Copies of this chain bind each other. A is one copy, B any other.
Amino acid sequence: IAGAMLRQSARTFGASSRALVRQMSTGGEKKKSFFSSWTFRLGATAAVGFGLTVAVDRSMFHPKIENEIVEDLMLKKGGLRRERIVVLGTGWASVGFLARIDPTRFEVICISPRNYFLMTPLLPSVTVGTIEPRTVVESVRTLFPWVKFVEAECISTDPKAKTLTLVTKQNGDSKSSSRVVQDSAKSRPEFTIAYDKLVVAVGAENNTFNTPGVQQHAHFLKEISDARRIRSAITDAFESAANPGQSDEERRRLLNFVVVGGGPTGVEFAAELADLVHEDLKNSFPQLKGMVTIRLVEAMETVLSMFDKKISDYTVEHFKTEKIEVLANTFVKGVHADHVTIQKKGSKTLEDIPSSVVVWATGIKCRPIVDSIRKTIGLDVQNNFRGLVTDRFLKVKGCDGIYSLGDCATIENKRLTEDVEELYKGAFALGGNPKAKGVTAESFKKFAASKAAQYPQLGFLAASDASEAEFSKADKNRDGVLELHEFKAALMAIDRTLKILPATAQVAAQEGKYLAKQFNQHPIPEGMQDGGSVVASLRSQYNAIKYPNGIEPFVYNHMGSLAYIGGDHATADMNGAMSNVLEHLGLSVATGKGVFLLWRSFYLSESFTTRTKLLLLMDWIRCKSFGRDISRY
């Protein structure tokens, strides 16, 4: 019963979709009419509604922390104990997991150097002050009072002994600028703790691709501190340029912003920056009008290349109105204090562009802790440099009791072609006609159905016409059956449809949610607390209804991707749940001004807690009414 209560209090954790979508008028004229507009009225109504739900949220859904858990926080052990899950990280994956794990069943310990969850999709808006930092963070202690949180960093694991070693790092670029923070951090001793199940969800690092100068002179955009630094740096550039002692050339350099990477993060940051410049800074620094340049450098042929081509084209076109210069097919060769060195694809010459603020948003790589775990297990098994290789149940390959999800993990897709001879034999056996010289259309279909659970890439052959089409494509000599070489070619084509899951919040959150549900179904080992017979029987009844088929592998459900591209425009690459709605609304070409309204309301409903929803709404109203604050501290 207590479990059910606690579960209820886990805030709804909606699947995320990429975006920052904001309703923001561009002209001064429009600003005036905002308060009579429906957006405002909608906002006001929503504000009152939120007020009420807040009351409910606060009074009903806040579980009291039980004494037993309090005692346990010091990690003293009692007699009979629950299985201990240690979760590393407080990002999308962990939080998805923590929100659903059954705390009456497990002792849950979460360890992370960051004591809060960060709503990364809204981070680009934080860099310019459209949204305030506190709006996009949520303390883990407040979110999950039943989870034992320890602010520390994992530096090594011992999968045999099932223990972890933890420290608090302090050198390098510390997250806080406080002297005293560093003083007291010094007193955090290294310690070791044991686990029964370990969940590694430590995310990934920024990848500089060894480009010289990036660490020293560019900003990353991954953490709150990055966003704050960028915000301060932008205003600093303007204040410096406004100084009477400057030459005009130096002014232009100071107002040269370079964004490296044309993925969603780079595109959204460039869009937000353009909004800041066009909507606010042009009023505060009228004398610098026309001196600002925003450049987006992308190595590939176009921006947002992972999306539909229509969207890329639309974005490039729209960026012209936003006065964002897109330099496609261009590599950054080095970042310096006052310029960036670039090279056009195919060209031998290097070019320098003057710059002040450079934002680096190109890609990710493994954290050292992940590489260390890979090595401990053995690089023969853990042979993917992208991250920890797991099976389709998110269990890390080559060891026991370790699971991994989110940006630091990669699910191994078993290739059909690896076992081609065996599969051929099996498919042949399903044919029913031993005289045939190969696999018939009928047995091909049966084969696909029987193996789809093991090889998800076969899933799309469930439809008869798809299976028939695939068969006849493969049957090159038109003899009605597939010989081994034809069968192999067919499997290779099918394997090619396999994609590794993208490193997105959407994937991470779904994996977290999935893993918690999986764990909740695991049988309770001998000698562990089961919460008493009533709870145990309730739990098994619940599991029986909820998961009639037992433990199934993870399946990713793509909800679509969105990107904010500046001046009220957004793009949506829809696939799955949302595409129907969009089509119904006549927004099948999901680009432009219409999209952002839909998606702003989406963000309000999907944003993490009532607190952040309310703050998000207020930030938008504030930004709309008063503009963005340019105070620099």
A binding-site residues for B, Cβ under 8 Å? 31-32, 34-35, 40, 44, 47-48, 51-52, 54-55, 58-59, 65, 70-71, 73-75, 114-116, 132-134, 137-139, 141-142, 145, 149-152, 168, 175-181, 183-185, 187-191, 193, 216-217, 219, 223-225, 228-230, 232-233, 235-237, 239-240, 242-246, 250, 253-254, 283-287, 337-338, 356-358, 610-611, 614-615, 618, 621-622, 625-627, 629-633
Residue with the highest number of chain B CB atoms closer than 10 Å, among A70, A225, A629? A629
**Are A145 and B283 within 8 A (Cβ)?**
yes
> How far apart sit A611 and B619, CA to CA, in the bound complex (Å)?
11
Given contacts A134-B629, A181-B236, 20 further A-B contacts (CB under 8 A): A31-B59, A58-B626, A115-B630, A134-B631, A137-B633, A138-B629, A151-B240, A168-B243, A176-B229, A177-B225, A178-B230, A179-B216, A180-B219, A180-B357, A180-B358, A184-B237, A187-B250, A187-B338, A188-B240, A193-B244
**What is the count of identical protomers in the complex?**
2
Residue in contact with A611 in the complex, picked from B224, B232, B283, B622, CB distance below 8 Å: B622
Q: Which residues of B contact A233 (CB under 8 A)?
A: 176, 178, 180-181, 184
Q: Which residues of B contact A47 (CB under 8 A)?
A: 47
**Are A191 and B244 within 8 A (Cβ)?**
yes
Return the chain B residue nearest A73 by Cβ. Answer: B287
> How far apart sit A253 and B187, CA to CA, in the bound complex (Å)?
10
Return the chain B residue nearest A219 by Cβ. Answer: B180
Return the chain B residue nearest A36 by Cβ. Answer: B55
**Are B139 and A629 within 8 A (Cβ)?**
yes
> How far apart sit A193 and B178, CA to CA, in the bound complex (Å)?
36
> How far apart sit A351 and B32, CA to CA, in the bound complex (Å)?
64
Shortest CB distance A66–B (Å): 10
**Are B75 and A631 within 8 A (Cβ)?**
no
Residue in contact with A242 in the complex, picked from B31, B48, B151, CB distance below 8 Å: B151
Return the chain B residue nearest A69 by Cβ. Answer: B286
Return the chain B residue nearest A141 by Cβ. Answer: B284
Return the chain B residue nearest A134 by Cβ. Answer: B629
**Are A236 and B178 within 8 A (Cβ)?**
yes
> How far apart sit A54 and B283, CA to CA, in the bound complex (Å)?
18
- A35 with B52: in contact, given A137-B633, A180-B217, A229-B181 (CB under 8 Å)? yes
**Are B633 and A232 within 8 A (Cβ)?**
no
Residue with the highest number of chain B CB atoms closer than 10 Å, among A75, A187, A357? A187
**Are B115 and A151 within 8 A (Cβ)?**
no
**Are A51 and B35 within 8 A (Cβ)?**
yes
Residue in contact with A229 in the complex, picked from B178, B188, B191, B627, CB distance below 8 Å: B178
- A243 with B115: in contact, given A132-B132, A232-B176, A356-B184 (CB under 8 Å)? no
Q: Which residues of B contact A168 (CB under 8 A)?
A: 240, 243
Residue in contact with A150 in the complex, picked from B54, B133, B243, B615, CB distance below 8 Å: B243
Return the chain B residue nearest A281 by Cβ. Answer: B141
Q: Which residues of B contact A287 (CB under 8 A)?
A: 70-71, 73-74
Shortest CB distance A614–B (Å): 7
- A239 with B115: in contact, given A44-B48, A142-B284, A177-B177 (CB under 8 Å)? yes
Q: 18 interchain pairs (CB within 8 A)?
A: A65-B283, A73-B287, A74-B244, A115-B235, A115-B631, A132-B132, A134-B629, A139-B284, A139-B629, A149-B242, A151-B243, A152-B243, A168-B240, A175-B632, A180-B356, A184-B233, A189-B245, A611-B626
Q: Which residues of B contact A250 (CB under 8 A)?
A: 187
Shortest CB distance A527–B (Å): 23
Q: Which residues of B contact A244 (CB under 8 A)?
A: 74-75, 150, 191, 193
**Are B58 and A32 within 8 A (Cβ)?**
yes
> How far apart sit A8 and B245, CA to CA, in the bound complex (Å)?
33
